[in-house]
């Protein structure tokens, strides 16, 4: 496994700990189909949450959320729609981004962004 993939997996594990601490149940990790992949699918009493995790070293210039472009957002939304058809639920849908930062000592911190994007914002920019 490459260093970047390993870093990404550590960020996902850190995000899962964060979600569990905040009373989310983890449903799936790395859910994928022919359209795309969703890093984490979790749920609480009100929402089913599709989480994109971006893990970076502390010395990055731009916040990791800016690396989730319109195409990736569309892929996440379309993959989530596939998931919703396959696994019926009455929960509301939400799209979050977890920014995980790793400092030079290997310590991690998180900036968790709820409602990072919504379907209506993306539809006008179909790619």
Mean of the per-residue pLDDT values of the chain: 90
At 122, the pLDDT band (50, 70, 90 cuts) reads: low
For residues 30-45, b (16+ Cβ closer than 10 Å) or e, as one string? Answer: ebeeeebebbbbbbee
CB atoms within 10 A of CB 101: 20
Q: Which domains does the chain have, with CATH numbers?
A: 3-123 (3.40.1350.10)
Average pLDDT over residues 96-102: 96
DSSP symbols for 36-102:
-EEEEEEE-SSEEEEEEEEEEETT-SS-GGGGS-HHHHHHHHHHHHHHHHHS---SEEEEEEEEEEE
Q: What is the pTM of this model?
A: 0.90
Read off φ and ψ for residue 49, nearest 5 degrees: -115, 130
Average pLDDT over residues 21-45: 96
Residues contacting residue 33 through CB under 8 Å, at least 6 positions apart: 79, 82
Give residue 126's pLDDT. 46
List pLDDT tens digits, range 50-80.
999 999 987 777 888 988 999 999 999 999 9
């Amino acid at each position: 496994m490459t260093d970047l993939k390993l870093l990404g997996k550590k960020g996902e594990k850190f995000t899962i700990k964060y979600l569990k601490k905040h009373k989310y149940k983890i449903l799936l990790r790395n859910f994928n189909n022919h359209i795309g992949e969703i890093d984490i699918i979790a749920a609480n009493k009100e929402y089913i949450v599709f989480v994109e995790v971006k893990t970076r070293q502390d010395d990055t210039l731009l916040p990791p959320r800016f690396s989730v472009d319109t195409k990736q957002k569309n892929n996440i939304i379309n993959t989530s729609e596939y998931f919703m058809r396959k696994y019926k639920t009455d929960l509301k849908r939400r799209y979050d981004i977890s920014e995980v930062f790793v400092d030079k000592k290997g310590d991690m911190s998180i900036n968790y962004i709820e409602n990072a994007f919504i379907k209506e914002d993306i539809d006008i920019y179909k790619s």
